[in-house]
C-alpha cells in the first residue's frame, strides 16, 4: 500500500458514491476452455463504465468556486462520459476533449450530455495536451487516471469485489493509464494481501509493462491498437509507483484476442462491451494467462460499447 491511496480513503469514496451509483453485480462464467471465472460487470454502471466512480468522487470533493469554473478533461470516451455525467449530476459545465480514434457512437453519446465536446488529436495524449491548455484558462482539469481521488473512486470496485467474493485468489484487470488497477489493487491487497492482481494491456500499447520492465516511467513511441481506452503513450508516477508495488504481473493481448473475447461475451452472455472491457477475458481465453485449476479467478468487465462486437450479422 502506498501513502497516496489507503483503504480508508477508498472506503470514504465508497460511502460518498454509494447513494449515487450502482453496485454492479458479479456473474459466474464458464469460458469455452472450461475456465470458470467471476466477472464484475462494470459495463452496467451508470455512464457505461467504472469511470463514473473516480470522476464523481473527484467532482464531489470540489469547492463551489471550482465547480463554477467548469470541468475539462481528455478521454478515450469512458472517462469523458464519467466527467460529463458527474457534471450533469452537480449542474456543472463540462468540456471533453477526445482523440480522433474515439468511436463515433461515443462521441455522439457524449454530445448529448457534455456542455462541449471537441474531437482533435490522433491519440489521447494529443487531446490531453489541449485539455491541459484549457485548464490554464480557468477550467478545473479532471485527470482520467493520475489523480488520488480518481484512483480512490476506482478502488471502490475492489471493495465490492472482495465483499462479494472474499475467497478470490486472482483478479485480472485491464490497464490503460492505470487508474483502475491502481485503485483496485490498493483495495484488494489491503483486504487480502495474498490475492494476485494481474494487469492486462494491449500488445500495441504496453504502457505500464514497458515502464516496469525499464524500472522507470517511460513514454511509448507509438500506439498500435484499436482499443482506444487502453492507449495512452505514457502513464504517471503515482500509477507507476502503485502498480510496481502491488501488481503481480502484466500480460499482453492482441486486438484480435480482445475482439474474440468481446464477441464471446455478446454471443454467450448477451453483454455488449468495448474491446478493452474484454481484455481480461481475452487473457484467459488465449492462454496468455493460465491460473491454477484450483484458483478462484475474477475479472473486471470495465465498460460497455459497440466497438468490441458486430451487430450486422456479417
Question: Domain spanning 7-49+147-308 has what CATH number?
Answer: 3.40.50.1100
Pairing of strands 170-174, 196-202: parallel
Mean pLDDT throughout 14-40?
97
Residue with cell 496468455: 288
Mean pLDDT throughout 223-232?
89
How many CB atoms within 10 Å of residue 313? 4
Residue 228: predicted pLDDT: 82
Predicted confidence band of residue 5 (pLDDT cuts 50, 70, 90) = very high
Residue 310: predicted pLDDT: 57
Pairing of strands 36-41, 26-30: antiparallel
pLDDT > 70? residue 1:
no
Residue 309: predicted pLDDT: 62
Residue 76: predicted pLDDT: 83
Quick: pLDDT tens for 289-308.
999 999 999 999 999 987 66
Question: Domain spanning 52-141 has what CATH number?
Answer: 3.40.50.1100
Compute the mean pLDDT over every residue in the chain, rounded to the nearest whole number: 94
Quick: pLDDT tens for 152-181.
999 999 999 999 999 999 999 999 999 999
Domain with CATH 3.40.50.1100 in the chain: 7-49+147-308, 52-141
Residue 3: predicted pLDDT: 47
Residue 313: predicted pLDDT: 43
b/e per residue 43-77 (b: at least 16 CB within 10 A)? bebbbbbbbbbbbbbbbbebeeeebebbbbbbbbb
Predicted confidence band of residue 52 (pLDDT cuts 50, 70, 90) = very high
Mean pLDDT throughout 17-46?
97
Residue 101: predicted pLDDT: 85
Residue 266: predicted pLDDT: 95
Contacts of 7 (CB under 8 A, 6+ apart): 1, 186, 187, 190, 191
Amino acid at each position: 500500500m502506498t501513502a497516496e491511496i489507503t483503504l480508508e480513503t477508498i472506503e470514504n469514496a465508497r460511502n460518498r458514491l454509494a447513494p449515487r451509483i450502482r453496485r454492479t453485480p458479479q456473474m459466474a462464467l464458464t469460458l469455452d476452455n472450461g475456465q470458470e471465472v467471476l466477472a464484475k460487470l462494470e459495463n452496467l454502471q451508470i455512464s457505461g463504465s467504472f469511470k463514473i466512480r473516480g470522476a464523481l468522487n473527484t467532482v464531489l470533493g470540489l469547492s463551489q468556486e471550482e465547480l463554477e469554473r467548469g470541468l475539462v478533461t481528455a478521454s478515450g470516451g469512458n472517462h469523458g462520459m464519467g466527467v460529463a455525467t458527474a457534471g450533469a449530476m452537480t449542474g456543472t459545465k463540462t468540456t471533453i476533449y477526445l482523440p480522433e480514434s474515439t468511436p463515433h457512437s461515443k462521441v455522439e453519446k457524449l454530445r448529448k450530455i457534455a456542455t462541449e465536446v471537441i474531437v482533435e488529436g490522433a491519440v489521447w495524449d494529443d487531446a490531453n495536451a489541449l485539455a491541459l491548455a484549457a485548464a490554464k484558462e480557468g477550467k478545473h482539469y479532471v485527470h482520467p487516471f493520475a489523480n488520488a481521488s480518481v484512483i480512490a473512486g476506482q478502488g471502490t470496485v475492489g471493495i465490492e469485489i472482495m465483499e462479494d467474493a472474499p475467497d478470490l485468489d486472482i483478479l485480472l484487470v485491464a490497464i490503460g493509464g492505470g487508474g483502475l488497477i491502481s485503485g483496485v489493487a490498493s483495495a484488494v491487497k489491503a483486504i487480502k494481501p495474498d490475492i494476485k492482481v494481474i494487469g492486462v494491456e494491449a500488445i500495441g500499447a504496453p504502457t505500464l509493462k514497458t515502464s516496469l520492465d525499464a524500472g522507470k516511467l517511460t513514454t511509448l513511441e507509438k500506439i498500435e491498437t484499436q482499443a482506444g481506452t487502453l492507449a495512452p503513450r505514457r502513464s504517471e508516477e503515482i500509477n507507476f509507483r502503485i502498480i510496481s508495488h502491488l501488481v503481480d504481473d502484466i500480460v499482453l493481448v492482441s486486438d484480435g484476442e480482445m475482439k474474440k473475447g468481446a464477441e464471446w461475451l455478446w454471443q454467450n452472455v448477451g453483454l455488449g462491451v468495448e474491446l478493452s472491457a474484454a481484455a481480461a477475458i481475452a487473457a484467459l481465453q488465449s492462454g496468455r494467462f493460465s491460473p491454477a485449476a484450483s484458483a478462484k479467478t475474477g475479472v473486471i468487465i470495465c465498460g460497455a460499447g459497440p466497438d468490441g462486437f458486430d451487430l450486422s450479422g456479417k
